[in-house]
Amino acid sequence: MTVDASNALLRWYDAHKRRLPWRAAGETPDPYRVWLSEIMLQQTTVAAVRPYFEKFVTLWPTVAALADADEAEVMAAWAGLGYYARARNLIACARQVAKLGAFPDDEDGLRALPGIGRYTAAAIAAIAFGRRAVVVDGNVERIVARLFAVEQPLPGARAALYDLAATITPEHRNGDFAQAMMDLGATICTPRNPACGLCPLSDRCAARLRNAQADFPVKAAKAAKPRRQGVAYWLQHEDHVLLVRRPARGMLGGMLALPSAAWADAARETGDADDRAHAIGNAPAAAQWCEAGSVDHVFTHFALTMRLLCARAERRPDRDVGERLSGDGEIWWPAERIGEAGLPSLFAKLAQRGLAWQDGLSGKAA
C-alpha cells in the first residue's frame, strides 16, 4: 500500500469512524481509558464491552482509583465478560502503573506490565501516545490477508501478516490509522460478505481483483474441542445459598461460584449410578440431593457440560466439610439476590436452574 492509500483510509475514517465511549472526541486520548478498553476487547465484542467499560470508568475513573479498589469488587464487576485472567491482570497492572506514577509511553515499557502483550502494547502506544506501532488484531489480519492475497493459512501466517502490516503503517496519525484499520475490519472488511463497494482500499485489494475475498484469510482446519463434564451444587439453608470463592489461579480464578467437583474428561465411561454416587460423594454436605438439569458452556480450549444438584441443608455445614469444595472461602448468599453476586456466566446459568428448583419448577430425587 502506498502513502496515498493510507491517506484514503484516514479520509474514510474521518467520515465514518465509530463513536465509542473510550475514544477521545477532539481531546488528547486518556491512556487509562485506552488501556482499559483494549484489555476488555481482547477476544470480546464491542457490544459486550461497552456497558462494562462504562461501569468501570464510573466506579473507578482513574488508574489510581482502580489500583485502590477491592479485588473482589473488581472481579464481581467483571463477571460475565469472560476470560477472567484478564481481570486479575487488570488489577495487577493498575497497581503497578500506580506505583510508576503513569503508564509507560512506548511498547517495551508497556509490554513489561501484567496482561499486556505485543498487540495491546502497540495499540496503547499508537492510540494513547501517538507512537508509530504496528497494531495487528484479528480485523487487521483479515484486511492484510485480503489486500495481499496471502495464501499461507493462519495461524502460521501471523508473522508474515505482521510484516506486511508494518509495510503499510504510515509515519503520521498513528492512533487514527490503527483505529481506522480496526473499524474497516469491523464494519466493511468483515469475515463474511465484505462490503467491498464501500471500501476505500478496494482498488488495491488483491483478493478482490481475483473475486476471491471469501477465500481469505486462509485458515487451517480446526480440531474439535474436547468436552469435559462436571457437577455443581446448589445448597440452600433457609433463604441463603452456599457460594465459594474459587482459587486465584486456574479457571474462573478469584470469582464467586457455586461449589463444584473437579471437571473431568467426558470420555470417562461410567454408569449412571456410578456418576450419581461420585457426584453425591463430592457434595458439600450430606443431604437429599436432587437433579436439576445441566448447562453447556464453551471455554477457549474445551466445552463443558455441568450438571446441577440441589438440596436443602438443615444446618450450615462445618468448615472441615467445606474444605472439600472447589474454592477457598465460603459465603452464604441471599438466594433472592443471587443476581448481585457477580457470578461468571457458567455459574449464573446454573444459579437460574437452582432458583427454578427452589420454586418447585424442576428437579427429581437423585
Cα dist from 40 to 44, 49, 82, 83, whole Å: 7, 6, 9, 9
Is residue 35 a contact partner of residue 103, using CB atoms and an 8 Å limit? yes
Reported residue count of the chain is 366
Residue with cell 503513569: 102
Residue with cell 418447585: 360
Is residue 103 a contact partner of residue 87, using CB atoms and an 8 Å limit? no
Cα dist from 210 to 83, 194, 344, whole Å: 38, 14, 45
Q: Which of 306, 291, 224 lies closest to 260, judged by CA?
A: 306
Helices (H), the chain: 3-16, 31-41, 46-59, 63-67, 71-78, 85-100, 107-111, 118-129, 138-147, 158-168, 174-187, 206-209, 272-281, 319-322, 345-358
Cα dist from 112 to 92, 274, 321, whole Å: 12, 49, 42
* Catalytic annotation, pick one of 38, 107, 141, 330: 38
Active site includes 38? yes
132 CB-contact burial (10 Å; exposed 0-12 / middle 13-18 / buried 19+): middle
Query: Strand, helix or coil at 32?
Result: helix
b/e sequence 238-254, b meaning 16+ C-beta within 10 Å: eebbbbbbbeeeebbeb
C-alpha grid cell for residue 344? 461468571
Cα angle 125, 126, 129 (rounded to 5 degrees) comes to 60
- Rounded to the nearest 10°, the torsion over CA 140, 143, 147, 149 is 100
Q: Tell me how far apart the alpha carbons of residues 261 and 266 are, in angstroms, rounded to a whole number.
A: 14
Question: Would you name the residues annotated as active-site residues?
Answer: 38
